[in-house]
Structure 1
């Protein structure tokens, strides 16, 4: 079956000065998706409170996570989640992990590893904690449980080039595979790293800041020396051809204006096409 698009215009996980533009980005992408296979998750307008968790806007993030989980639970097949910031991927990975019965690797394509904890995070932004929460560590309600968490040995990071101290410690302590931007230009290296996890199904997360800023203007955290669009599309198509996808996500689109969004959308639609090129996981 084709993917269902789950649009989550979540901005509360970002601490960028352009955080709220993530909601605009999700809405812009939604305009080019088929209505019949698109599900919207309502995101509250209020920022939310940390409630002593060390996570900024925790109360709203928790509510959106619960709503996204509920929306995903009704889907007959796999989902391509459209954020919003990276926080939207948490429920999506849980859904994919449950579908794969734990037989899941996560390919995290991002300029940042997003492996901080509430205690160690320099900013308190949950977007920078999302992958750590996927491994099962994080604030109550925002960390996956033993049935759906993805262990560190099933993670493959790609294109990271801004790493905090705690993230570096975690990567080294757990021997997490981290591939450079140059490595991503050779899909065989990425496929080999995913094969080495032992998992037979894959979730692909794309934070658009894995791209070089020259390729896409609508980035809240532009980082130089990223991958090119053509190389990223080729990589995603190769992975989707080799592995059944249990799910996928695109995050981090933060256009400065409607015109800027229009300029960037063809690039994003190419990535959506690549993600949906290989089909879903078998039932």
Structure 2
């Protein structure tokens, strides 16, 4: 159901509020999130920015920037970074009490060739930093330089698994076997290797205090196929 331009808005709001209540109750200094789509990082990262007095920086390791709005697309997971910056969907962005400073946002592994006009204009308007997959092939220096220049003390890392090349890591949206439609039509697949992402996360962890990590968009197609296959075998049913 699409409500005011956002699919499943009511359920999303309930989840955001419930997550925020848990975080405010336990007041953690560090958070690790695993599973779900990119929107699962909104409440934890918003909490961490409050926890660190608006000084949190975010490294968004993702093939896509997640800076859309309801006019562009109805799925809220494509808006989460915009929400954290105070834009995106107005109602979802209002759940972020302290918005992220644009200087403290960097995209890593972003496929610039797949940006829409709206996304490209958003990035230019906010002067958001980018390290392309090509820039990160053999070095993390572009990200480390961003950390130094902005004197980043506390960092949250968003690691969307679809930043990975689906030929190497297939448990992502783009690794779907025999898709009914072209999964690359609206969004380009990631180009980074597992080794490159691991090196990048280790390098930035030595350079600053990593207080948050979200690992999202896991789609284990082979496990799903195996489950469906076994369900059709008589002796197992």
1:197 Cα deviation from its structure 2 partner: 2.9
Unaligned runs of 5+ in 2: 176-187, 227-237
Cα distance in 1 for residues equivalent to 2:219 and 2:210: 26
Match of 1:183 among 123, 135, 139: 135
1:141 Cα deviation from its structure 2 partner: 4.0
3-state secondary structure, aligned to 2:66: coil
RMSD: 2.0
Cα distance in 2 for residues equivalent to 1:225 and 1:141: 30
Contact 2:109 2:163 in 1 (8 A): yes
Match of 2:206 among 237, 241, 265: 241
Match of 2:74 in 1: 124
TM-score by length of 1: 0.69
1:229 Cα deviation from its structure 2 partner: 0.6
Contact 1:136 1:145 in 2 (8 A): no
Deviations 1:2-41 (A, max 9, x none): xxxxxxxxxxxxxxxxxxxxxxxxxxxxxxxxxxxxxxxx
Cα distance in 2 for residues equivalent to 1:143 and 1:184: 31
1:57 Cα deviation from its structure 2 partner: 1.1
Unaligned runs of 5+ in 1: 1-48, 262-283
1:139 Cα deviation from its structure 2 partner: 3.0
Deviations 1:87-109 (A, max 9, x none): 10100111211221111111001
3-state secondary structure, aligned to 1:236: helix
Cα distance in 1 for residues equivalent to 2:29 and 2:132: 32
Residue 174 and residue 125 in structure 1: after superposition, are their counterparts in 2 closer, same or farther (change >3 A)?
same
1:166 Cα deviation from its structure 2 partner: 0.8
Contact 2:61 2:158 in 1 (8 A): yes
Match of 1:171 in 2: 123
Aligned pairs, number: 210
1:214 Cα deviation from its structure 2 partner: 1.6
Larger Rg: 2
3-state secondary structure, aligned to 2:54: coil
Residue 165 and residue 174 in structure 1: after superposition, are their counterparts in 2 closer, same or farther (change >3 A)?
same
